[in-house]
């Protein structure tokens, strides 16, 4: 069973950076999910997929996986590029795209 270590992206609906600075270790599912015949719920016999561990650094997450013998893949962090703009630039006469009210 393998695990995935990644840093989640911030919420697209908000401008804050909450829950995007910690690294997360998530186990990949070992068995596919099934539909339970009586009630129609989606079930799985794999309980490791319910575990979600958070770490402050990538090194700490990798050390935990190595210490417990968990095969893992680490995804690189997606850093946001800051776009600098100023309000008066909206009204410049030499804009590349026209802007009207």
Q: Which domain holds residue 40?
A: 2-11+20-76
Q: Is residue 93 part of a domain?
A: no
Give residue 100's pLDDT: 65
Give residue 9's pLDDT: 81
Contact 70, 5 (CB under 8 A): no
Provide mean pLDDT across the span 22-41: 91
Q: Is residue 40 part of a domain?
A: yes
Q: Is residue 98 part of a domain?
A: no
- Is pLDDT larger for residue 17 or for residue 35? 35
Provide mean pLDDT across the span 17-27: 85
Q: Is residue 45 part of a domain?
A: yes
Structure tokens at 33: 């999910």
Q: Is residue 39 part of a domain?
A: yes
CATH number, residue 31? 3.30.160.190
Which residue, 11, 9, 51, 7, is CA-closest to 30? 51
Give residue 96's pLDDT: 75
Predicted confidence (pLDDT) per residue in 51-92, tens digit: 999 999 999 999 999 999 999 999 998 777 777 778 887 777
């Amino acid at each position: 069973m393998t695990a995935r270590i990644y840093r989640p992206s911030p919420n697209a609906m908000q401008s804050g950076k909450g829950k995007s600075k910690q690294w997360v270790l998530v186990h990949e599912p070992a068995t596919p999910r099934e539909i339970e015949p009586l009630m129609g719920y989606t079930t799985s016999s794999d309980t490791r997929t319910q575990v979600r561990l958070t770490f402050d650094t990538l090194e700490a997450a990798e050390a935990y996986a190595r210490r417990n013998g968990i095969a893992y893949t680490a995804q690189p962090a997606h850093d946001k590029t800051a776009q600098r703009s100023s309000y008066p630039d909206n009204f410049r006469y030499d804009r590349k795209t026209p802007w009207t009210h």
